[in-house]
Structure 1
Amino acid sequence: MSESLWAASGDELLRRTASADPTPGGGSIAAHAASLGAGLVLMAIDVTLGAKGTDEDAAAALREARGRGEGILATLHAAVDADVEVFEALMDAYRMPRGDDAERADRTAAIRVETVVATVAPLDVADAALEAVAFSVAVEPLVKPGVRSDVLAGRDLLLGAARAAIRTADVNLAGLDGEPALHERRQRAWDAIVTALQSEESA
């Protein structure tokens, strides 16, 4: 990967996403969307901390929470480019020579390894996005009413990004027999999304 997707302008990122270029794909864009969702929650925290009359106990809790949010955001930020890199590694494995039995065996083994890696990457995005969802729930009652909508909008982006990341993982999971831990991890993330959405509906 020659250049970080974060170095691209918004127009360039959109153009590349909407083109026949295979990257950025679902995993990278899910991580990008989740980063923006987490960013909205952090913005609401900063606005509240900078506002006059913010309760001291709430401010202390928000300052502590902000550190957690920054860590999640850093994970999501890195995942944008990481997903491209693992996809390129998988494509390199598919391009390996297969002229004889030994080469074919090496290629098959490499594809297997890189497919697992390319499955873990979007599942990592889903897990980080869901961690950010929980973070947003914790800070929502502490922020100013005027920016509560930003927390909610950020959460919606995070839930959508988590779901999109799982969809990306599903493409690889379909061909991965003998990896029960990955299938179980995927199901846990999906169940967490369903639970979060049900909580939203009952709130």
Structure 2
Amino acid sequence: MSESLWSLPADELLRRAASSDPTPGGGSIAAVSGALGLGLVLMAVAVTGDPALDARRERGEALLARVVPAADADVAAFGALMDAYGMPRDDEASKAARASAVEAASVRATVEPLDLVATLVEGLALAAELEPLVKRSVVSDVHAGADLVRGAGRAAIRTADINLAALERGDAPAAAGLRERRDALAAALEEAV
């Protein structure tokens, strides 16, 4: 898929997500959902209209700027992994090249969703800070946004898990560090207020 998921009408994005196409998958839909959740939190700040919240709004916009590209990055990471799996295995040299490419692509396909989770954990912290500061009439939007962000983080963890499991089965050097990061982020996601 060469076009950005963000250029699709919502009904087309939903149709593709519900189709047999491999993308958009869990990681990219997690990014879209997380972005929408952050959008709700930012909307509550905008409706409140308090200049004292400007710095927090800027933080939220910076987080959103990191989450939005994660949707297309996940699609690209999956494509790179599929390309690696499709490499020839005709002789020992090509088998070794394929194994190396699969490992590198699997690392990328694990790092991308973990980076998303790290950003979403920051988004949850921001939502918790903003909840007592926004107008009461929009606090439910902060809550709903935080719920979407947390759910998106959980979905991104699941995307990382499938790739991490493959790295662990292959005893990839990066696996132990990625497992440690995954577990720390999963705990942070659940502990976030």
CA offset at residue 157 of structure 1? Answer: 0.3
Deviation readout 1:97-119 (Å, 9 max, x if unpaired): 11111000000000000000000
**Counterpart position of 2:20:** 20
**Counterpart position of 2:130:** 139
Deviation readout 1:110-141 (Å, 9 max, x if unpaired): 00000000000111111111110001111111
CA offset at residue 41 of structure 1? Answer: 0.3
In structure 2, stretches of 5+ residues that fail to align are: none
Q: How do 1:1-203 residues align onto structure 2 when only pairs under 5 Å count?
A: 1-49=1-49, 59-177=50-168, 178=173, 179-196=175-192, 199=193
Within 1, Cα distance between the matches of 2:166 and 2:76?
A: 20
AA in 2 matched with 1:195: E
**Counterpart position of 1:54:** none
Deviation readout 1:15-63 (Å, 9 max, x if unpaired): 00000000000000000000000000000000000xxxxxxxxx34310
Within 2, Cα distance between the matches of 1:176 and 1:5?
A: 28
CA offset at residue 182 of structure 1? Answer: 0.6
SS in 1 for 2:166: coil
Q: Which runs of 4+ in 1 moved over 4 A?
A: none
With the length of structure 2 as denominator, give the TM-score of the two structures.
0.95
CA offset at residue 81 of structure 1? Answer: 0.5
In structure 1, stretches of 5+ residues that fail to align are: 50-58
Which one has the largest radius of gyration? 1
Within 2, Cα distance between the matches of 1:164 and 1:17?
A: 14
CA offset at residue 180 of structure 1? Answer: 1.4
RMSD: 0.9
Identity %: 56
Number of equivalenced pairs: 188
SS in 2 for 1:43: helix
Within 1, Cα distance between the matches of 2:52 and 2:119?
A: 21
**Counterpart position of 1:53:** none
